[in-house]
Amino acid sequence: MNRREFMQALAFASAGGMSLQSSFANAQSAAQKFYNLPKFGNVHLLHFTDCHAQLLPIYFREPNVNLGIGSQYGKEPHLVGEAFLKANGIKPGTRDAHAFTYLDFAAAAQTYGKMGGFAHMSTLVKQLKASRPGALLLDGGDTWQGSGTALWTNGQDMVDAALNLGVDIMTPHWEMTLGEKRVMEIVQKDFQGKVSFIAQNIKTADFGDQVFSPYTIRNMNGVSVAIIGQAFPYTPIANPRYFTPDWTFGIQEENLQKMIDEVKGKGAKVVVLLSHNGMDVDLKMASRVRGLDAIMGGHTHDGVPIPVKVKNAGGITLVTNAGSNGKFLGVLDFDVKGGKAVDFRYKLLPIFSNLLPADPAMTQLIKKVRAPYETKLAEKLAITEGTLYRRGNFNGSFDQVILDGLLKQKNAEIAFSPGFRWGTSLLPGQAITMENLLDQTAITYPYTTVAPMSGATIKTILEDVADNLFNPDPYYQQGGDMVRVGGLQYTIDPAGSMGSRISEMRLNGELLDANKTYRVAGWAPVSEEAKSAGGEPIWDVIARHLRDVKTVKAVKLNEPIIKGVKGNPGMAAI
């Protein structure tokens, strides 16, 4: 056995749960069994979402803070760590435990390797489609944004990859930050006759006409299957309105019911919503509309292994969410008899890149699209001594690096960084490259800002974001996490009422003065005025900071004091 074969054997042995004394053949066999998913029924749907332009295998740490408040307390998707494992019947210390939780992240990542990667996903998709005649591959959105190459190619790298992967149907969110013109160019040219780009809730601002097809109906093994699209409802609020000035969004619940009734009137026996609402919104929606067999959801990046069964006036709707960053592929099989789905099977498959050989055609495509940028992407900016990640309701260690850089480079007293949920993770000892930094910052509105803000304004900002995250009505939640805060300490009561969740705001130990002005740095402003001001791109600011510090020490998170969460299964201390 040569060195390459030996290293491969080690990878298979570790990931396959085998000891080093086990034979290479047995390790390979264990890996193959992991993806051996028997065919069931006659309607087959494959689903990925929120890959955020990650073409290569990555590390991605799941959150240790994903709070459920009020009626959402202790329910999916608001479970983390050991509570998550127990609820989903997953054994600790296994590769599934690593895929779905933050537990022992660095050590488990070293053992099981990177996850995702379009070349590895492609192999799995082909394997599943071969065993499931007519299977459809659904893309839940947030595909064309999240990497340096996606930014620099205006999303073309991901469009080409999606076509190569065999995507059949797609609904959007961050895609809209490329602007109306670019989105329509892709839909009308690249996707024409190949990918159905659907959204029942995007309409023209003038006459309220559908911008895209609201649904598509396909015949699969003699069964009429309708897929309805649900784009992110709050796109013009969460992202700059100037990207989509001629379109409106919203939840559009009544129109959704109309579309369900319409496709059933056209003979659809299975009706599925391909959604980018976020899990909590999907759960509420499932309780209020009738006629959906399933909602295959995204946006909140929750990996949910067991579908939630939601009762409504029409029966039961399954609600799923397929994680993020290309880590998972959902497989939903329905058995349709007598004109309706009588049974189902669902499996959310973690994609371990060392268990799945890379598809040659996709590998070649990825190499081609990355080639012009490899030198720039590979620039080493610093070394990290600890794990760097972005995920969690209040802060992440890579978020903290960004905050520290803003404070230092912009000579600010307070720094704000958006509560984005995308961004890959780094293990202790890894170099932080320009590519890693762009994984956290690559957006089409990267401008940094420095502005004077009163203590009262700062409180208003924190209250607004807290209500977005913790409003007891999911229809008023926009699915992001709490704005990350540098320099400022505060207390939050997630279960509090609107406008009264935030207290004890302190700077250097002193209470903030509502009437005093503070120097506040931030980035990713949604206003057109901020765009016109043309602030320095965030990646330039943080790259400069990382080059200065050279080594990022173990990061201490600046997190708020959180009231009323003792024992909450959506929060685990580290």
Divide the 574 residues of the chain into consecutive groups of 10 and give the mean pLDDT of each group: 46 47 55 88 98 98 96 96 98 97 97 98 97 98 98 98 98 98 98 98 98 98 98 96 98 98 98 98 98 98 98 98 98 97 98 97 98 98 97 96 98 97 97 98 98 97 95 87 97 96 97 98 94 93 98 94 96 88
Which residues does residue 297 pair with via DSSP β-bridges, in sequence order? Answer: 321
Per-residue burial over 116-145, b if 16 or more Cβ lie within 10 Å, else e, is: bbbbbbbbbbeebbeebeebbbbbbbbbbb
What length is written for the chain? 574
To which H or E segment does residue 315 belong?
Answer: strand 315-321
Specify the pLDDT at position 25. Answer: 59
Specify the pLDDT at position 214. Answer: 98
Specify the pLDDT at position 2. Answer: 47
Specify the pLDDT at position 21. Answer: 45
Report the chain's terminal Cα–Cα distance, integer Å.
42
Q: Encode 322-373 in three state secondary structure.
A: ECCCCCEEEEEEEEEECCEEEEEEEEEEECECCCCCCCHHHHHHHHHHHHHH
**Two tokens, residue 308:** 């939630």
pLDDT of 234-245, one tens digit each?
999 999 999 999
Specify the pLDDT at position 9. Answer: 44
- Do residues 445 and 177 make contact, with C-beta atoms less than 8 angstroms apart? yes
Measured CA to CA, the distance from residue 137 to residue 77 in angstroms comes to 24
Specify the pLDDT at position 26. Answer: 57
Q: What is the DSSP letter of 410?
A: T
Backbone angles phi, psi at 335, to 5 degrees: -105, 110
Specify the pLDDT at position 16. Answer: 45
Specify the pLDDT at position 181. Answer: 98
**Two tokens, residue 523:** 């980035």
Specify the pLDDT at position 6. Answer: 45
Specify the pLDDT at position 12. Answer: 46
Measured CA to CA, the distance from residue 143 to residue 175 in angstroms comes to 7
Specify the pLDDT at position 201. Answer: 98
- Do residues 558 and 489 make contact, with C-beta atoms less than 8 angstroms apart? yes
Packing angle between helix 118-131 and helix 360-370, nearest 10 degrees? 150
Measured CA to CA, the distance from residue 420 to residue 79 in angstroms comes to 19
Backbone angles phi, psi at 379, to 5 degrees: -60, 125
* pTM recorded for the entire structure: 0.94
Q: Can you tell me whether residue 164 is helix, strand or coil?
A: helix
Residue 258 makes CB contacts below 8 A (sequence gap 6+) with none
Asked, as a colleague might, if the bond just before 240 is cis with ω within 30 of 0, I would say: no
Angle ∠(390,56,62) on CA atoms, nearest 5: 30
Q: Which of 15, 16, 39, 11 is nearest to 29 (CA)?
A: 16
**Two tokens, residue 211:** 């911008």
**Two tokens, residue 514:** 């509502």
- Do residues 220 and 44 make contact, with C-beta atoms less than 8 angstroms apart? yes
Specify the pLDDT at position 205. Answer: 97
- Other Cβ atoms closer than 10 A to 343: 11
